[in-house]
A and B are shown apart, each in its own frame.
Chain A
Amino acid sequence: MTTNELSFIVGGAAGLGIKTAGLIFARLCSRAGWHVYGNVEYPSIIRGDHNSYQVMVSEKRVFGHIRALNILLALDDLSIELHKDEIRPGGAVIYDVNKSKADRGELEEQEVLLVGLPFQSMIKEVGGGQRLLNTVGVGATMGLLHFDFDAIAVTLEDTFARHGESVLKQNLDVARRAYDAAAEGFADRFDVTLQRRDAPKRMLLTGNEALAMGAIKAGVKFYAGYPMTPSSSILNYMAAREREYGLVVKHAEDEISAVGMALGAAFAGLRSMTATSGGGFCLMCEFVGLAGMTETPLVIVESQRPGPSTGLPTRTEQGDLKFVLSASQDEFPRIVIAPGDPEESFRLTFEAFNLAEKYQTPVIILMDKHLSESTWTYEPFNCAGMTIDRGELLDESALASMKEYRRYALTESGISPMVHPGTPGGVFCATSDEHDERGDICEEENVRSRMVEKRLRKIKSLDVSECGWRLHGDSDADLMIVGWGSTTSAIHGAMDLLAEDGTRISFLQVIYMNPFPSEQVADVLTKARRAVVVENNATAQLADVIRENTGIKIDDAILKYSGRQWLVDELADQIRRRL
């Protein structure tokens, strides 16, 4: 039978290429016209322990996993041990008969098809090593699913051609052997096949990839960073494309230097960015205030992971919201945006650069590991209407017609026209000290008060009444979920599942955390019959932020702080209990 949905997981020790196997499978499905969602789970080690990559494939958009696997590709016995209870009856376990010593009695009782194949012998036959193990596994999986082998060959070429012809040939040969063995020996006993679907061309991409694309589209010309999961893939992405897109990417000596370089480049007139996780952002805080004080446009990405301190370096959490909203000393305007999926990561990052320059202040994009590193399928983004706005900027001729240039001129909007260093006639000195309109250090009471007001006034004109939030579903639904960031995905999935039972749920997604769409959120919440926040943290931080901005207290919260994102069915069960 052909299926309309399939759940696959590959598991094995770190170092076996688990993520590569998962991504190859995900890409094969995406290229064959399926919607895909995939996520990687791994401990903070390089070799050993357990890594897994899980992929959900569907004819509809996919928003998360459910606890019912069709296929477990077990590259070691620990994977069988950890995931055997997740396999649905009629599902399959693919494993290496040369090596596995796992007790499979229980699986047989659960009517799980045991696809034991001689992986090690196949690898030997093509003259390769353990690096081929993940390809053997993918080949066997696709054979079991009667997937078109030619399509597999194309994707393997894309993945391995850069490693040289002999490596590619070994991968192709071993995949073919495993494919044939699974197709001939087992596929007739497995009732799911995966065929090509008619569908538009789609990208398979992570939140970080989409975000980086948004930055490049926005004309980012300088990027400095320091490796820290889950932000490192942005640094890697940018570095790999620096020459092609004419930007400079620096791996700095620490996060303080990374944000300092980014700020220096922004002061010089570039669109400039840095990214880190919570720990690195702790180090960057002083510069966030410096950008606020000197009115320098700066875009900072903070991709959250569980803390405090090192926490769970490779897992996910939404625990930094209130920290980011108040990071750095005293008061200054900041813009904080929380995308909910890759497309929003792309569009809001592009927008972040416009806002940073328009309001001359730091813009922080809040991501998390789940959004940064999981993959979703999207049709290529439509870039029509994405226009660059560099804010109020004076050039040499504009300066020539002025009597005196004052960098921090007190204006009605609070926004003072900028000049980039190098422009004749615009010399000034920016300072972290309080200063007068010219930028000279000044401690006079009156000047201080006017400058505080000027800075805070700037973002009052930023209207987030439309872009700051989204209501999915009807506001008079039985229950309104309130959430933000990466949980958006699982909430959509849970809404779809509940809709199958006839339960109507709505979802209020908050996107701008500062400035906050207070009036609109208050209005929607007042109309809601019941509301519950869903967050990946332990203290319902969004509920606090909503209360601070609207006075409305949401009493009910569904919270998860285990370092993992919600499974769709797990979240749907929790929501059902509220109905």
Chain B
Amino acid sequence: MENATRFNTKAKPTWCPGCGNFGIQNAIKKALLSLDLQPHEVAISSGIGCSGKIPHWINVYGFHGLHGRTLPVATGLKLANHKLVVIAEGGDGDGYSEGMGHFIHACRRNVDMTYIVHNNGVYGLTTGQVSPTGDRGFASSTTPHGAIEWPLQPLALAISAGANFVARGFSGDSERLGKLISEGIQHRGFSFIDVLQVCVSFNPSKSYKWYQQRVGNLEDEGHDPTDRTKALEAVFRDDGRLPIGVFYRGSEPAHEEGLPQLAAEPLVKHDITDVDIRPLMEEQV
């Protein structure tokens, strides 16, 4: 289909003007167009929060579920119909707080899907509480004297948990983010993309300008994404820069490759009209 607007919806997003989610929404559409996909070939699962609403505004099959629970739903969806391109969307509160357990296990399970986390360091939809990636000292309604906890480092967690595609993008550069998402979709296995995102309403000090002064392209620095140790070094470097791009890319087989049940066709295509259970009954005799 030539129609470049096929992923647009009639409904209009309700995000704040200037929200970083617009950039992520654009990037996903660009990625889907670049891969020549049709709306019915894609499914997006999401959690709850500002990020969670995104499947309503991209014209693909969507499942806007529960806070923190996008990954289990996406996993079931993908294994049920592995011909679908499956994207899981989460927020930093949603995915790194409530849904952290699922994140670690999704990394090691390596089901072929792309997990995009909208990371702005703050809870938007509940009006500005600090998130797990919020800076130490960040004052918010739940941390009026400043956050005491350390922010967690999602890229390092993903790498150490066994993820085979670990990347960081920036919502203010949807061109490059779209390419990253497209690479993530093409990667066979679990692809994780943490997206630095501006929250104009509740974390305005980290503005577009603030990020633009700090982001830089990893690739331009000659980073070798096949080296896990170097990838961790890049995550933890402390020079005030925020590199974006692919930090780590491994080549472990996707989860689906361990499931011969999926070899012939997706499970949804299996005929279930008359399953013969006589052998099961014979086993019990």
Chain A residues close to B by CB (< 8 Å): 30-31, 201-205, 209, 213, 216-219, 221-222, 224, 241-248, 250, 252-254, 256-272, 286-287, 290, 294, 380-381, 383, 388, 420-433, 439-441
Contact = CB atoms under 8 A, between A and B. Distances in A.
Interface of B: 11, 38-41, 43, 45, 48, 53, 55-56, 59-66, 69, 71-81, 83-84, 101-102, 104-105, 259-262, 267-268, 270, 272-273, 275, 277-282, 284-285
Nearest to B260: A243
Given A246-B267, A260-B76, A270-B80, A217 B40 contact: no
Contact of B62 (A219, A247, A256, A428): A428
B275 A266 contact: no
Given A204-B284, A221-B272, A264-B80, A270 B267 contact: yes
Contact of B80 (A268, A381, A388, A427): A268
A260 B98 CA distance: 14
Given A202-B285, A270-B267, A431-B56, A422 B76 contact: no
A290 B77 contact: no
CB-based closest 7 A-B pairs: A219-B272, A260-B72, A264-B76, A429-B62, A268-B80, A203-B284, A265-B76
Given A244-B279, A431-B64, 20 more contacts: A209-B284, A213-B280, A216-B275, A221-B80, A221-B268, A222-B76, A242-B261, A257-B101, A260-B65, A261-B72, A261-B76, A263-B65, A264-B73, A268-B77, A269-B81, A272-B80, A431-B62, A432-B65, A433-B64, A441-B56
| Max chain B C-beta neighbours (<10 A), residue from A264, A270, A294 | A264
A341 B99 CA distance: 38
A267 B75 CA distance: 11
Nearest to B64: A431
| Max chain A C-beta neighbours (<10 A), residue from B40, B53, B76, B104 | B76
Nearest to A248: B79
Given A222-B80, A290-B65, A421 B272 contact: no
A522 B71 CA distance: 46
A423 B279 CA distance: 34
B280 A264 contact: no
B61 A429 contact: yes
Contacts of B284: 203-205, 209
B57 to A, nearest CB: 9
A270 B268 CA distance: 6
A259 B104 CA distance: 18
A248 B64 contact: no
Contact of A427 (B40, B45, B281): B40
B277 A217 contact: yes
Given A264-B45, A440-B56, A422 B81 contact: yes
Contact of A430 (B40, B64, B285): B64
B73 A263 contact: yes
A432 B259 CA distance: 31
B162 to A, nearest CB: 13
Contacts of B59: 427
B190 to A, nearest CB: 14
A388 B43 contact: no
| Max chain B C-beta neighbours (<10 A), residue from A224, A253, A262, A428 | A253
Contact of A222 (B69, B79, B104, B105): B79
Contacts of B74: 264
A380 B73 CA distance: 37
A269 B285 contact: no
A253 B102 contact: yes
A465 B77 CA distance: 36
Given A205-B284, A270-B268, A429-B55, A253 B64 contact: no
A441 B54 CA distance: 12
A330 to B, nearest CB: 14
| Max chain A C-beta neighbours (<10 A), residue from B62, B66, B279, B280 | B280
Contact of B268 (A258, A268, A286, A433): A268
| Max chain A C-beta neighbours (<10 A), residue from B53, B59, B71, B281 | B281
A219 B260 CA distance: 18
Contacts of A218: 272, 275
25 contacts: A31-B285, A209-B284, A213-B280, A242-B261, A247-B261, A257-B102, A259-B72, A262-B76, A263-B72, A264-B73, A264-B74, A264-B76, A264-B77, A265-B77, A267-B63, A290-B66, A420-B81, A421-B40, A421-B84, A422-B61, A423-B40, A426-B40, A429-B62, A430-B62, A432-B65
Nearest to B55: A429
Given A287-B66, A429-B55, A429-B63, A252 B40 contact: no
Nearest to A245: B275
Contacts of A259: 72
Contact of B64 (A241, A246, A388, A432): A432
A265 B84 CA distance: 12
Contacts of A216: 275, 277, 280
A243 B77 CA distance: 19
A30 B285 CA distance: 8
Nearest to B72: A260
B40 A422 contact: yes
Nearest to A436: B11
Contacts of A205: 284
Contact of B105 (A247, A253, A265): A253
Given A422-B41, A422-B83, A257 B285 contact: no
A507 B71 CA distance: 47
B144 to A, nearest CB: 29
Contact of B275 (A217, A242, A421, A441): A217
Contacts of A245: 275
Contact of A388 (B63, B273, B280): B273
A217 B279 CA distance: 11
A96 to B, nearest CB: 32
A421 B77 contact: yes
A432 B66 contact: yes
A243 B11 CA distance: 43
A203 B284 CA distance: 5
Contacts of B53: 441
A440 B268 contact: no
A114 to B, nearest CB: 35
A257 B72 contact: yes
A287 B239 CA distance: 43
Contacts of B11: 440
Nearest to A203: B284
B80 A428 contact: no
Contact of B60 (A243, A247, A267, A427): A427
B255 to A, nearest CB: 9
A253 B101 CA distance: 8
A203 B66 contact: no
Nearest to A396: B40
A213 B279 CA distance: 10
